Amino acid sequence: MADVQPNDGAKCPKTLNTVWHGAFAFVRREYGIEVLTPRESVHANYAGTWEIGGLHKLADGGRYKLLGAVAAPPAARFDPKYNIFVDGPLAGDVDRLVHSSWMLPPPKEIFTLQRITIQESNFTGTKPAGIHIPHEFGAVQVLTFELDGSVPSVEGLPGWIPEGREIVNLHVFAEEVTGFTTSSVLQHPKSEFQSLLRLTRLGERTDLNFDYTPTEIPLVQSCGEGLDGLRRKELVSLAANGLLGKDDPDVEAARDSVDSGALVGHPCAGIIGGGG
C-alpha cells in the first residue's frame, strides 16, 4: 500500500477514505448508506485520525453525518464474496439495539480488506434463505469518497480534524480495546454475531449462530489490495495499534470486566443489509 504523502501546499483534500474497523451493519438508504453500530459490552467506539490522541470517543445514542463528500452514482457495492448479506427490513426495536449510527452519501468505491476464512462448521442452526454467508468475510471495510472542494467534517464529531493531505482517512472503530485469553477470544464472536443479526427482522426469526471451535484461533489475512493514501499499518485493530493509551478509561474498564490476556482480540466483522 502506498504511504500517505504530504499535500504539498494544496488547500483542500481531494479524496476521503472512511475506514470501518469491527462490527457494523451497513444498510442501503435513499440518501446513501446508514452505518449502525450494535451495542456490545466489550466494544469501544471511537473515530478520528490515525495518531495517538487523534481518536474521539463516540457518544451512546450519537448520530453522525459525513459532510463535504460528493454523492457518487449508487453503483458501488459490497462484494458478496467477502461479506455476510442479510435481506429484509431492520428490526422494529432497532434504535434500542444501536449504540451509534452514521449517515453517508453513496461512496465512489467500496473495498473489503483483511479477510478471514470461515467454514460451514462455524455455523449452527438453520440458515434462512435471506442470509448469504461467504467463505471469507472482511474485518475492515473502506468506503471512498471524492470531496466537493471543502475540508470534510462530521456533524456531531467536531474534534475530528483531517490531515493536510490530498488523500485523508477517517477511521471508525467498534472493537475491543484489549487482548483476550485463549478461551475468551473464541466466545466473543458468538455474542457479536447475535448482536448484529438482532438489528434485522430476519434475525428475530432464526436460530442461526456463529462460533469458533475450541481449538480454532481466527487468523487475519491481508487481501493484497493497495489503496492510495492508506498505509498497511492503518488496518491494525484497536487492541493492537496503540492509539489508545494504557490509561484510557475504556482500556482500564476492559481489563476489569473481561478475561484479558496476551492475545489480540478476534477479528470483528459486520453485515450488509438492504441489498448491499
Asked if 262 contacts 268 with a C-beta cutoff of 8 angstroms, the reply is no
CA–CA distance, 6 with 97 (Å, rounded to integer): 41
The pLDDT, as a whole number, for residue 73 is: 94
The pLDDT, as a whole number, for residue 235 is: 86
Percentage of the chain surpassing pLDDT 70?
78
How distant, in Å, are the alpha carbons of 15, 55, 75, 81, 253 from that of 108? Answer: 10, 25, 8, 19, 38
- Which pLDDT tens digit goes with each residue over 113-161? 877 777 777 888 888 888 888 888 888 999 999 999 999 999 999 999 9
- C-alpha dihedral sign at 142, 175, 276, 94: negative
Which H or E run includes 268? none
Question: What pTM was estimated for this model as a whole?
Answer: 0.87
Most confident of 92-96, 128-132, 233-237, 253-257: 92-96
- Which pLDDT tens digit goes with each residue over 55-64? 999 999 999 9
The pLDDT, as a whole number, for residue 21 is: 92
